[in-house]
Structure formats: structure tokens, C-alpha cells
Amino acid sequence: MKKKDVTTLLDILKETYPDAGCALDFGDRFQLLISVVLSAQTTDKSVNKVTPVLFGKYPDPESLAAADERDVQEIIRTIGMYRTKAKNIIALSGKLALEFNGEVPGTGEELMSLPGVGRKTANVVLAEGFGEQRIAVDTHVFRVSNRLGLVNEKDVLRTEESLMKVLPHERWTEAHHLLIFHGRRICSAQRPKCDICPVNEYCNWFKHKTIKEN
């Protein structure tokens, strides 16, 4: 896709989704990190329902590190993979307390050394918590960016690397949110609403679909 078309596409998506942004509720970097870890393979909305109780009882790494795992499980049991997540957030809190003076580290390498933290989580924390320009590739970003033709990749890492080359650096974080919103509201996995898509004229997938139908 030409640079001019990429810019136009982002502008249209920004106009379509003016409220695009992080949907998780958090008060500081620690709460952001925990919320992002909890959000894996579940909705931000479901995470926001359990974190007020979780952070009310365990507001910092030291308190969560000392928590009873069964108690944490009970608090977050309504979200997916709650047993594994309870174990991970307790363990990562302990590592924060012991190795990082209770502070969330500000590099991807350090973040990914924490239990339960992968590349996507690290990128979200760096973008939302530290103000860095990052592209976190989740299922929505992967699907939408490849469908549109922004990239043509088979895996998440290569998609991220290609998007970093294609998208303006100063719009990486913004693009991440816009692609997620578009994936949730129009470009769904099973039944994308192509006919009402505001960027269908730029979309490779839609063009190929139209050619097939004709």
C-alpha cells in the first residue's frame, strides 16, 4: 500500500473511531501491567469487572506477591484461564518487588522476563504506561492489517515488524487501537461487514471478494 493511502486509511479510521484507545481501567503502571496480563484471551470489559476488587485488596506488587493464590483465583475466576493468571500475577509481582524495587520496568526485555508477559503485553505496557510508540499485535490487529493489505504476513511477529515499516512511527500506538476497534466493530473474523466498511476501497480482501462474486 502506498504511503499516501496508508495515511488516508488511518485518517478515515480515526474519524470513524474517535474514541479508540485502551479500554482497560487502571490507576498506575502496576495496575496496567496486571490488567493486560489478565486480558489475554478474554475481553477488557470482563477484566474491568474484577480488577476493582483485586486492586482494592492488593494495590501494589508487595501485597499481591504475598497473596494467597486461592483468594486471587476467587477474585478473578470469571475471566478465562483464571488459575494460570492468578499464579502468573502473583509470581510477576514477587519479581517486581525483589528485582525491580516494586517498579514496572521500562524495557521490553525486562518486561518479558516477568511471568505471563509476552511481546504483546510488553508493547501495550510500554505504549500506555510509558508513552512509547508501539504496535501490539493481537488477533484483531493481525487479521485486519493482513486483510487490508497493510502487510502480508503469516505470523504475529512478522506482522509487527512489517507494520513498523509501513506505518508512520508517530502513529504506531494510534494505529494499534484503530485496527482493534475496526476488528471488533466491522472487520470481524467470521462475518465482516464489508458493505459498510469505511475503508473498503483500500482493502485487498474486499477487492478480491468482489472480483470473485462478479
Q: Which of 193, 90, 10 is nearest to 209 (CA)?
A: 193
Catalytic residue chosen out of the listed positions 138, 154, 193, 195: 138
Measured from the Cβ of residue 129, the count of other Cβ atoms closer than 10 Å reads 20
Q: Which of 123, 128, 119 is nearest to 21 (CA)?
A: 128
- Distance (Å) of CA 153 to CA 94, 117, 157, 158, 160: 37, 23, 9, 6, 9
38 touches 125 (CB < 8 A)? no
- 188 SS3 class: coil
Catalytic residue chosen out of the listed positions 3, 45, 120, 212: 120
Does the annotation count 49 as an active-site position? no
Enumerate residues 6+ apart whose C-beta is below 8 A from 23: 44, 45, 48
Does the annotation count 193 as an active-site position? no
Distance CA 29, CA 106 (A): 10
Active site residues: 120, 138
